[in-house]
Chains A and B, each alone.
Chain A
């Protein structure tokens, strides 16, 4: 793979389950060596995209290349250079850590001393070397996830796909997992693609694609996405949001977005507006928050829908 070729290239990919259109013309590239996040609420299409990229689902329409190989016509090559970590652990809980990795190695044509040294190194890198003789079922969720990653990296893929890696992990285990992921990217020259519905996790990615109803509604670094919202973000809750929205907008001449029972206003110098709004309509307001834009604000701005 040349330095300039993207690790993943997706062009106008569409996918429909029997009735539901899950992906609606996706086009994007993942650059070599980056940690790329696919953020979106459940049902937004990220799992479908994950399954297509991991070769579990066929490509119905459009074109996609993984590591320079065509996803449809060069599937065997794609499978060789791809490491996949599923949301539901693909580890056999009735086998030990060592046994799981041994079988995995065999599925990728590895054996003997080479396989043994890879297992040792992989477990060490993920800090689980001392558990290699334990049954997987006896490990904590965080350790299982790390063994799972060691398993998917055994054949030294160029690209690692992770589906919701932090699901079911406590915050400590999540932070640790990301520490390992960043280290691995360095040491193994990996490109990592992560799907997530957690906004915190999305912040850790180099670049982020936000998926909504099968379309990519935003794609940039988390910082750039946040600054695209601009200024401050004022969020107001009210018992009668409809009326309050009208009042605020006519009084202060600002655009008020109504999202569910919340009102959102994006504006420079939000604290001035906050003061005035509270002074004027204090009784109609149940709560109000002022903050720098978050990725949630980006989502709301691009889709007009609440993230949750």
Chain B
């Protein structure tokens, strides 16, 4: 071939350029679909306002709230749960698009490119994580109104942890969405798995210290995500540990392990050459 300039081999794409470009695409797509903003931020916000008002009088604050030295309203109790719900919804919306991308053909285009499968996964997760942080950030700006205030260090810790949690939940969504070929299937998994996981994490109600529910909470990895966020929000208070509220160290450890498992599974799934990639 006598076309050296035209047929020059491009450099290998590396890891970060593809990761960033895939994440950037997620952000642009999100901003162009107004309904997604309403879905991921609006619905949890609505839950927070409505449940906060509706359950105000029947809510029994958990024992640890005595440390705060003031009454814990349901709205305040529910606050970190809603922040996590925003992260969860964002993760769901970001990963459900895997199914659409596969149907429309965009995913196939990425799969035949020379990027590593790790880059493909990290691109998706980074996109989901950034969207989560933006939306959860908007919601957390309401914290002072709840009587929760935080300084710079606390702010960095909270956002750092939310980033980890968003990464984890997006990876969990990735693992669920990758093998599916219909969004209906995803909706089924969402209501049978993801929503119960959130409901039984201490996000929505404190949960007892005994009985089967306490075991579900103990085994639910998201319990540790909610607990870590709650502890970071009340950084200045020594909250006692309980089943619904494990210690900060245990919470972060479990979340990190959960993250590694979900990301690892995502990469394994994405690396398999199978006929489902080739529709």
Contacts and interface: CB of A to CB of B under 8 A. Distances in A.
Q: Is the interface of A mostly helix, strand, loop or mixed?
A: loop
A99 B28 contact: yes
B63 interface: no
Interface in A71-101: 76, 79-82, 84, 86-95, 99
Given A94-B33, A188-B7, A109 B21 contact: no
B35 interface: no
B13 interface: yes
A104 interface: yes
A155 interface: yes
B3 interface: yes
A103 B106 CA distance: 11
A264 to B, nearest CB: 36
A248 B279 CA distance: 47
Interface residues of A, number: 43
A111 B13 CA distance: 10
Given A79-B114, A189-B3, A189-B6, A17 B275 contact: yes
Nearest to B115: A107
Given A56-B112, A104-B109, A108-B113, A80 B10 contact: yes
A92 B25 contact: yes
Central interface residue in B21, B103, B105, B106, by most chain A CB within 10 Å: B106
A22 to B, nearest CB: 10
B34 interface: no
A106 B1 contact: no
A58 interface: yes
A280 B138 CA distance: 88
A56 B104 contact: no
Central interface residue in B3, B106, B110, B112, by most chain A CB within 10 Å: B112
A110 B18 CA distance: 10
A132 interface: no
Nearest to A1: B1
Interface string A177-197: 000000000011100000000
B10 A110 contact: yes
Contact of B17 (A1, A91, A111): A111
Contacts of A94: 28-29, 32-33
B8 interface: yes
Contacts of A145: none
Contacts of A55: 111-112, 273
Interface string B1-42: 111001111111110011011101100110011000000000
A106 B21 contact: yes
Given A56-B273, A109-B17, A156-B6, A103 B25 contact: yes
Interface string A127-168: 000000000000000000000000100011010000000000
A99 B25 CA distance: 9
A95 B6 contact: no
Interface string A32-59: 1000000000000000000100111110
Contacts of A110: 10
A76 B112 CA distance: 9
Interface in B83-108: 103-108
B277 interface: yes
A16 to B, nearest CB: 10
A55 B8 CA distance: 22
Contacts of A3: 1
Contacts of A51: 275, 278
Contacts of B24: 103
A107 B114 CA distance: 7
A82 B112 contact: yes
A94 B13 CA distance: 24
Contact of B28 (A80, A84, A93, A95): A95
List the 3 closest pairs (A to B, CB-CB), nearest first.
A90-B109, A106-B21, A109-B13
7 contacts: A55-B111, A56-B278, A80-B9, A88-B103, A90-B105, A106-B20, A189-B2
Interface of A: 1, 3, 17, 32, 51, 54-58, 76, 79-82, 84, 86-95, 99, 102-104, 106-111, 151, 155-156, 158, 187-189
Given A89-B105, A107-B21, 7 more contacts: A79-B112, A88-B279, A91-B105, A95-B25, A99-B28, A156-B6, A158-B1
